[in-house]
Amino acid sequence: MRAAILSGILLSLSLPALFGNFPLHLGELAWIGLAPLYVTLASEEKPGAGLWKGFLCGFPLYGISLYWIFIALHIHGGISVFFSLLALFLLVGISSFYLGGAMALAIFLKGKGLPLAWAFSLSWLFQDWLRNYFPFGGFSWSSLAYSQGERLSLLQIADLAGPYGVTFLILISNILIGEVFVFLKKKEKPPYLLAIFFTLLICGTLLYGKFRSNQIRHGMTSLPEKKLSLVQGNVPQSQKWLPDNIEELIQGHLELSQKAEKEYQPDLIIWPEASYPAVMSHDVSRFNLIDVLKTPLLMGIVSYSGVVPDEWPPPPGWEFHLYNSAMVIRPGGYLEAMYHKNHLVPMGEYVPLSGFFFFIQKLVPGLADFTPGDGFNLLEVSGMKIGTTICYEDLFPEISRRFVREGADLLVNLTNDAWYEKSSAVLQHVEFSRLRAIENRRYLARATNTGVTAIFDPLGKEVARAPLFEQTVLSAPIRLGGPATVYGRYGDWFVYICLLATVFFVLTKLRMR
C-alpha cells in the first residue's frame, strides 16, 4: 500500500510545479516513480488488489498535481469552500478510479498469461487514452508525457505516436527498474530481454529525434515568414469583468499593441482569451474601441447570439446563446472572421447532464451556460491560415490535428490562466502547447493573460517567452506550414495496435486452453 502511495507522490512531483515565484521541474522522477507500484503488483493475483493499489497511487498523483482547481472554483468561481473541495475530491477520485481500473485490468491480463510488463504498460496507456475522452469530453491533465518538456530529443517521437509514445517510453523505464527489484527479491531470471529492448528503444528514439530535428530545421528555412506580437495584459481575474474597468483594460491592451506596431511592425497582433472585457453580439460588424490599430488583430472575446434576457438563467425556450470566441479584427475595427470554442469546460462553461445536475445552477447563480461551436473553421488573415484553440482545447491532441488536416499553417492558443493565480497549473498548461507543436510540426503561438505567453517552433523549442505575471508584449518571427506527420494523419494508431495485440494474445491463450 505504501509503495502505491509513494509512486503517486513521485509522479505528481515529476509534473511542472510553481510555488510562488519558484518553478520546479523534476521530470526525471517520472522515469522511476512508477517502479514501486509495479513491484507491489508483481506479487498480486486478484484484480481487486490492483484496483485498490492503482487508486491509492492515483489519489496523491492527481490530488497534488490538480490542487489548483480549488483556487479556480472557490476564489474566482464564487463556489463555497465545501463544494469546491467536493468538486476537487470527485475529479481526483474519478481520475484515480481510472488508474485503479487499469491496474485491475493488468492483474486480470497477467492471470490470463500475459506478462506483467506488457499488461501493465498496455493498461496504463489505455486509461491514459480513455481519460482524454471520458467522461464529459475527457480530462487528461497530469498525463506523464507532459512531464518531459525539458527533454526535446525524446519528445520528437510525438510526431509518430503522440503523447502516448512518450508515455510508453516512461512506462518501459519504470517496468525495467521494477523487474530488477523483482529479480533481486525472488532470484528469478534477470530481465535481460527487457533491458535490451529498453536500450534499443531509447537509442532509437534519440537517433530519430536527432535525424528528425535536423530534417525539420532544414525544411523550415524555405517556409514563408511572418511576424507576430502577443499581448499579455496581466489583468487579475477579480478585476477582469468589472463594468467600470472596460475602457481602461482595453486601453491597456491597445497601448501594448501600438507599441508593438511602432517597434516591430508585426503582421498580426494576438490578444488572449476573453481579453475584450465585454460580452458582444457576434453580429457586430465594427469595434469602435479598437479601431485605432493599423494591424490585423486576433482576440478572444465572449460573444452571443439571440436576444439578451432580463434574468439569468434565461427562461426555458429563450433563444440566447453564449460563445467563447476568437475574432479576427481588421484595421479600422471591422470584424473579419470568427471561431467559437468547441470543447467546453464541464462545470465551468456548461453543466453536463443538466437535468441530473439541476442543483448546480442554484449553487452557482452566475454560472454561464456556453454553447459549443459547430466546426473547426480556420481564421484566415495576413496570408495565414490559423487553427485556434481556446483555453484547455490545446489539451486534446485531436483538436489540433483536425485544424492541421483542415489546412492550418499556424496554430494559436488563446488562454486566460489568471483563474489559477500563481499555481502549478500555469506551468503545466503550457506543456500541452509544446507537444501539439511537435505532433503537427507547426509553429504554435500561445497568447495568455498572465502567462505563460510563448511561441514554440515545430521542434517544441521556445522561440520566445514572456515573463510570468507582467504586463508586456512578446514579439517574434514564425514560419508558416510544415510537413505532414504520421500522428497528424493517423492519430492514436499506437494505442489501437497495442489494444488489438493484447486482445489477440488473450484470445490465443484462451483457445490453447
Catalytic site residues? 273, 341, 391
Residue 430 · residue 454 · CB < 8 Å: yes
DSSP state letter for 309: P
* Strand partners for 227: 477
**Where are any strands of DSSP class E within 341-466?**
379-381, 384-390, 410-415, 444-448, 454-456, 462-465
Sequence-separated (6 or more) residues with CB below 8 Å from residue 236: 418
Kind plus residue range of the DSSP H or E element containing 22:
strand 22-24
Instruction: Give the sheet arrangement for strand 384-390, strand by strand.
Output: 379-381, 384-390, 410-415, 444-448, 454-456, 462-465
Q: Give the position of cell 490492483.
A: 50
Q: Give how far Cα 341 sits from Cα of 46, 406, 420, 424, 489, Å.
A: 44, 16, 20, 24, 23
* Strand partners for 469: none
Q: How do beta strands 444-448 and 410-415 pair? A: parallel
Q: Give the position of cell 469546460.
A: 345
* Strand partners for 280: 303
Q: How far apart are CA 498 and CA 494, in angstroms?
A: 6
Classify residue 238 as exposed, middle or buried by CB count within 10 Å of its CB (0-12, 13-18, 19+): exposed
Sign of CA dihedral 261, 263, 265, 270: negative
Give the three cell numbers for residue 343.
Answer: 470543447
489 CB-side CA count, 13 A: 5
Q: How far apart are CA 481 and CA 411, in angstroms?
A: 10
Residue 417 · residue 429 · CB < 8 Å: yes
Residue 201 · residue 169 · CB < 8 Å: yes
Nearest to 404 by CA among 388, 428, 390, 391: 388
* Strand partners for 231: 473
